[in-house]
Structure 1
């Protein structure tokens, strides 16, 4: 039933600031945008990583009724090659620690951390050997 990660969406009260922050973090500009019914920017979308997954930024005025305005819910983790450097960079850009770097099972290679971006969203990063295995198998020979 679940075929793969398609898009993760983050909410931002200041959509333009969020666009600029994520453009700096990812090193690319959004490839897609949509205006809201009032003509103001409502959504920006980036492609990120080895599989060009989608990271969407949505103006918080379109948050569904009852959706919490602060950090909460599930944490989606992005694989990074150097977890400590990734966390340090995120913190230097104004994110704050949500969960410190944590080894998940001694010697397994699974290590996670998460931050809260300046817009209140939880951004997870991790070292994930399964990700690297899948990537190696998908690489053209």
Structure 2
């Protein structure tokens, strides 16, 4: 699989307000609706709402690139000058995430679905 952006996570302070906005925008209910994360799917795109995002240093939406080898890709990004924002961690269902900041401070997220 080649890398591709299929997930965008929005840090939100008002999860209920954000959920209502994305319901209106997408015309659908979320497929995940938990106090710690709300997820929508639309045309192959995952849109996530993270009420803990601001506390993790997120300042705006973060695109997550889906990759086959998150640790290898993270190491390559660091070798290319990126700074690790969030180390690789499992977030449930075999999904691993990590993020880096580029030289301009932009966040780039990585996702690997291990199928575990």
User: Could you state the TM-score of these two structures normalised by the residue count of structure 1?
Assistant: 0.40
Of Structure 1 and Structure 2, the greater strand share is in: 2
Where relative contact order (Cα < 8 A, 6+ residues apart) is larger, the structure is 2
Larger radius of gyration: 1
